Amino acid sequence: MKRLFLLIMLSAGFLSNAAKRDTIVPQTYEFVKRGDHTLLMDVYTPTTARPDSACVVFLFGGGFVTGSRTDAFVRKYCQRLASDGFTAIAIDYRLHLREVNFDTITLLKTQKVFRDAINIAAADCAAAIAYICDNAAKWRIATQHIVLCGSSAGAIGSLQLDYCRANSLPPAAELPKDWKPAAVVAFSGAIYADGGKPKYNTAPAPTFFLHGDADRIVNYKKFPPVLRSGLYGPKKLHKSFEKNHYPHWYFIFEGIGHEVASLFLMMNDEVETFVDKTIKGREMFYDANIRDSKVIPTKWSKMGVFDLYKRK
């Protein structure tokens, strides 16, 4: 009977915590206009904020074609973060590839439209950061404790913004002066670089790479493999980070493809541990090959980038 009573109490506590998460309703704000596009953000305010007033800015995935800050999993993730004390903010960015027909353009043209889509997302994220910093006192956010986090296209946009910031490139122009993310968390992300592998003129933020080594949508190594310009995946970035002693965690899921992009809810504990230690000033280097019985290959492990954009 004692065990049954304890089980009932634990279950009640779990359901109570889940209910509290579900009642965290965001407030929506317009942060910038880009031509005909009005970009919005949803701010999830924690009931009990962390002592460090940390904030996570989340960029959704969808291949720069689809996805939304209001997607059910994005909403659930932000509610989870807010229930754990973070101010969680899900933002819009323009989906530049939505109208592109990849059946009618050359490889070199494809390079350009991808580069433009990535830099547009990074620039929109920079505008969001500027707006957040302008309202940081009202929302009780410590601007030095803002974390960039994204899935797939959102992970690319997050990594790209920090890359542009470190190299004073135009997509980062709207960032507040001297601002730097506390950390970057990338679920299946990469960086676009022209003319060769990415180099940082100033140090990147501590970065958590989570990726599948069978990913051919956001390639684990590089795409296209034969050109100097293109998307550089975590295997290439890891080498640069190691060489230059840039703090980072490197979690590679063996035999898994783009499924890793959807693991942000499942990996929340690891992400929060990384953020906690990073904000406390610990410089960490963690290299892990992961096999997880809960993460199995699906159709996403068989798909390449052109399968994703092929018109039917």
Average pLDDT, the chain: 91
Chain segment 38-58, per-residue pLDDT in tens = 999 999 999 999 999 999 999
Cβ-based burial of 203 (10 A; exposed 0-12, middle 13-18, buried ≥19) = middle
Confidence of residue 21 (pLDDT cuts 50, 70, 90): low
pLDDT, residue 227, reads: 84
Confidence of residue 105 (pLDDT cuts 50, 70, 90): confident
Q: Is the pLDDT of residue 200 over 60?
A: yes
Q: What is the token pair recorded at 182? A: 């506390």
Give me the domains of the chain, ranges plus CATH numbers. 28-309 (3.40.50.1820)
Chain segment 9-18, per-residue pLDDT in tens = 444 444 444 5
Chain segment 123-172, per-residue pLDDT in tens = 999 999 999 999 999 999 999 999 999 999 999 999 999 999 999 999 99
Distance (Å, whole) CA 147 – CA 77: 14
- Higher pLDDT pick, 8 / 232: 232
Q: Which residues pair with 212 in a beta bridge?
A: 253
Mean pLDDT over 230-251 rounds to 96
Chain segment 111-123, per-residue pLDDT in tens = 889 999 999 999 9
Listed residue (92, 156, 95) closest to 127, CA to CA: 92
Q: What is the token pair recorded at 275? A: 């953020």
Contacts of 242 (CB under 8 A, 6+ apart): 285
Q: Is the pLDDT of residue 103 over 80?
A: no
pLDDT, residue 4, reads: 40
Distance (Å, whole) CA 171 – CA 263: 28
SS3 per residue for the chain: CHHHHHHHHHHHHHHHHHHHHHCCCCEEEEEEEECCEEEEEEEECCCCCCCCCCEEEEECCCCCCCCCCCCHHHHHHHHHHHHCCCEEEEECCCCHHHHCCHHHCCHHHHHHHHHHHHHHHHHHHHHHHHHHHHCHHHHCCCHHHEEEEEECHHHHHHHHHHHHHHCCCHHHCCCCCCCCCCEEEEECCCEEECCCCCCCCCCCCCEEEEEECCCECCCCCEECCCCCCEEECHHHHHHHHHHCCCCEEEEEECCCCHHHHHCCCCCHHHHHHHHHHHHCCCCCEEEEEECCCCCCCCHHHCCEHHHHHCCC
Strands 230-232 and 222-223: antiparallel
* 32 CB neighbour count, 10 Å cutoff: 19
Confidence of residue 311 (pLDDT cuts 50, 70, 90): low
Q: Note whether 5 and 68 are within 8 A (CB).
A: no
Distance (Å, whole) CA 198 – CA 158: 15
Mean pLDDT over 243-250 rounds to 97
Q: Note whether 231 and 220 are within 8 A (CB).
A: no
pLDDT, residue 7, reads: 41
Amino acid present at 301: S
Q: What is the token pair recorded at 263? A: 């693991």
